[in-house]
Structure 1
Amino acid sequence: MNGCPPQSPPTSLREYRATDDLAHGQRLDRWLASQAADLSRSQLQRLIDRGQVQVNHTQCDSKKYEVQPGDLITVAVPPATALSLEPEAIPLEILYEDAHLIIVNKPIGLVVHPAPGHETGTLVHALLSHCQSEDGLETSLSGIGGVRRPGIVHRLDKDTSGALVIAKTDLAHQHLQAQIQAKTAQREYLGVVYGKPPSEAGTIDRPIGRHPVDRKKMAIVPEEKGGRPARTHWKIERRLGNFTLVHFRLETGRTHQIRVHCADLGCSIVGDPLYGRGRDIGVNLVGQVLHAWRLSVRHPITEEWIQVEAPLPLEFLKVLKILEQRSG
């Protein structure tokens, strides 16, 4: 041995170019949060405070800096801390897997990553077990998401089921994240809503932000008050009396996006405990009848398209059957 201490992983440098006119005048922390899906706004604020963010090659220590079109913003992201979560042998429905990524069909009720009130029993715990080496010493998951979110590129709400892609390597994580930001990855959902949408198809283009009163909810919030652009494309798949089966395609991926946009349209998702309160179809439901049905991404190495379809959960099928019977 030469007595030299082991080298720690290098800091990751990320560059973002503000090419869109929508960036004009946005606060630095808010704009970066819209670009870096794996970093929270509070994480980015800490990086800014620590001098790890540069604008046009000059250190910027103000999160309130107003981004201008053409700005080159560099973020120095320190290496993730070693994982300290315990793997749990929770069954997973695998839709696709190779050495670089894994796509699962997340069931209703499974939280994606640890959070207050959900310290165990999450998808991350299941993935740590599934991706563990035979000797239990290594785990093949990207570390970019940090200790509590290894491999997590995007999320689904606890009570939304369906296809979710997870990165096994940092390269795959960055590649998949870039696809989501560039809107080349396709995320399609099926959901049952109350009522009848006003047309056969449409696009909801309304910004979403934290609800001004109820911090557990999101809401339609103007961009000048902190809302972030949100766009949902939808079309009717089947009319079921006073209910409708709708196909959704996300162009952006804000928290609760489909649920908030549907409620704003006056057609909230059936079973939604936050945005559809006071409505009941006479069936005990675990969560909202919303399913991430189809996911299409480019493979981070081969560049070939991977498209998977997640089978509808039994509860979703049960609701469809009941509504079809009622509608004749």
Structure 2
Amino acid sequence: MNNIKLIFHSNERIRIDKFLSIQLADISRVKIQQLIKMGLISVNGLKIYTCDYSLRAGDQIEFIQNIEPKDNTKIKSKGLPFTIIFEDEDLLVIDKNPGLVVHPGAGNQAGTLVDILLFEYKLSNVKGFYPGVVHRLDKDTSGLMIIAKSNEAHFKLAAQIANKQVKRSYTALVFGALNPLSGKIETNIGRSTSDKTKMMVTKSGGKLAITHYNTLNIFADNALSLVHIELETGRTHQIRAHMSYKKNHIVGDKQYIAGHNHALKGINSKIKELIKNFPRQSLHSKSLKFLHPITNSEMYFECALPPDMAELIYLASEKELM
């Protein structure tokens, strides 16, 4: 779309985001709301930043810069393992599928998220970082990630993360019932002394890790819990290590469950096998909240659970299966 200018003619008031979503069928309402919050839409020559701005007859609405909606059909048609949630010239927000490694490393030299993105985009190129990567998700963790496209965006996003300004929430299905049901886990985390690929809570050394959690639901006579988790710090394997420390391992997390036996009383054998053999940790990056690194506008994104976790939670919660 180039040089979009609209005039509102009705005498009945309407929210600007609703009006634009009706008029511009090729742009979602969520996308329009993001553009408003970024100050890219003006009314009568003045930028507005609130989506509930009420239009009056005669108001002139204009896009401050050309906005070309990203055509995701090209990427989706390739069957690539992520979905673009948001894009502008500085950053991407994606919903990563489980099973996708973020960047090259030992045993994963090709076919990573970074490799795929570099075919489509120019990413940030900051010394000491992989292209575009300002934070990471484990291979088998699904959900939202921020990708930097410019070096300026990368530096500023990395600073926000370091200063604990990026709010990240996760959903997890864990064994047992947490005690207490809601709380804060504040410990140091370092490399496991028995397995260098794992992290563990340490009494000395390591780095401070703070995890906030809240139990959303408990299933099957305390056998399983659905938990909302927020990170105050972002250490490697932080959630997985903290749930292991609490003895409430994440369902499917074979690396951390190894050596632990979780009784699944009250669940029939078929569903018990499904839970025990779930192929990856049932951990999903559900929401992200941060400031746009260039415009300083507040950005918020949320995505639904992937089908495998949604089905697992549904089956675990079905009373007739207990």
Aligned 1:228-247 pairs, distance under 5 A = 228-241=207-220, 242-247=223-228
**Residue in structure 2 matched with residue 213 of structure 1 by the alignment:** 194
Aligned 1:91-130 pairs, distance under 5 A = 91=80, 92-130=82-120
- Given candidates 126, 132, 148, the residue that maps to 1:144 is 126
Distance 1:103 1:279 in 2: 38
Please list the CA deviations of residues 253-278 of structure 1 after superposition, one character each: whole Å capped at 9, or x if unmatched.
11110001011111110110111225
**Residue in structure 2 matched with residue 166 of structure 1 by the alignment:** 147
**Residue in structure 2 matched with residue 34 of structure 1 by the alignment:** none
Distance 2:127 2:89 in 1: 18
Kept in 2, the 8 Å contact 1:108–1:286? The answer is no
Distance 1:222 1:176 in 2: 31
Structure 1 residues 164 and 100: alpha-carbon distance in aligned structure 2, compared to 1, 3 A threshold: same
Structure 1 residues 202 and 145: alpha-carbon distance in aligned structure 2, compared to 1, 3 A threshold: farther
Greater than 4 Å deviation, 4+ residue runs: none
Matched, 1:263 2:244: yes
Identical positions, percent: 40
Q: CA RMSD in A?
A: 1.6
**Residue in structure 1 matched with residue 32 of structure 2 by the alignment:** none
Kept in 1, the 8 Å contact 2:170–2:287? The answer is yes
- Given candidates 143, 149, 164, the residue that maps to 1:183 is 164
Matched residue type, 2:279: V
Matched residue type, 1:121: G
Matched residue type, 2:102: V
Please list the CA deviations of residues 15-64 of structure 1 after superposition, one character each: whole Å capped at 9, or x if unmatched.
xxxxxxxxxxxxxxxxxxxxxxxxxxxxxxxxxxxxxxxxxxxxxxxxxx
Structure 1 residues 154 and 145: alpha-carbon distance in aligned structure 2, compared to 1, 3 A threshold: farther
Structure 1 residues 128 and 232: alpha-carbon distance in aligned structure 2, compared to 1, 3 A threshold: same
Matched, 1:282 2:294: no
Matched residue type, 1:302: T
Kept in 1, the 8 Å contact 2:251–2:278? The answer is no
Report the alpha carbon displacement of residue 194 of structure 1 after superposing the two structures with TM. Answer: 0.2
Distance 1:294 1:237 in 2: 16
Report the alpha carbon displacement of residue 315 of structure 1 after superposing the two structures with TM. Answer: 0.7
Structure 1 residues 95 and 323: alpha-carbon distance in aligned structure 2, compared to 1, 3 A threshold: same
**Structure 1, unpaired ranges of 5+:** 1-88, 132-139
Structure 1 residues 289 and 141: alpha-carbon distance in aligned structure 2, compared to 1, 3 A threshold: same
Report the alpha carbon displacement of residue 279 of structure 1 after superposing the two structures with TM. Answer: 4.8
Bigger Cα Rg: 2
Distance 1:244 1:261 in 2: 15
3-state SS of paired residue (1:165): strand
Matched, 1:325 2:318: yes
Distance 1:282 1:314 in 2: 18
- Given candidates 304, 307, 310, the residue that maps to 2:303 is 310
Q: TM-score, normalised by structure 2?
A: 0.68
**Structure 2, unpaired ranges of 5+:** 1-77, 263-271
Report the alpha carbon displacement of residue 311 of structure 1 after superposing the two structures with TM. Answer: 1.9
Kept in 1, the 8 Å contact 2:124–2:132? The answer is yes
Structure 1 residues 186 and 145: alpha-carbon distance in aligned structure 2, compared to 1, 3 A threshold: farther
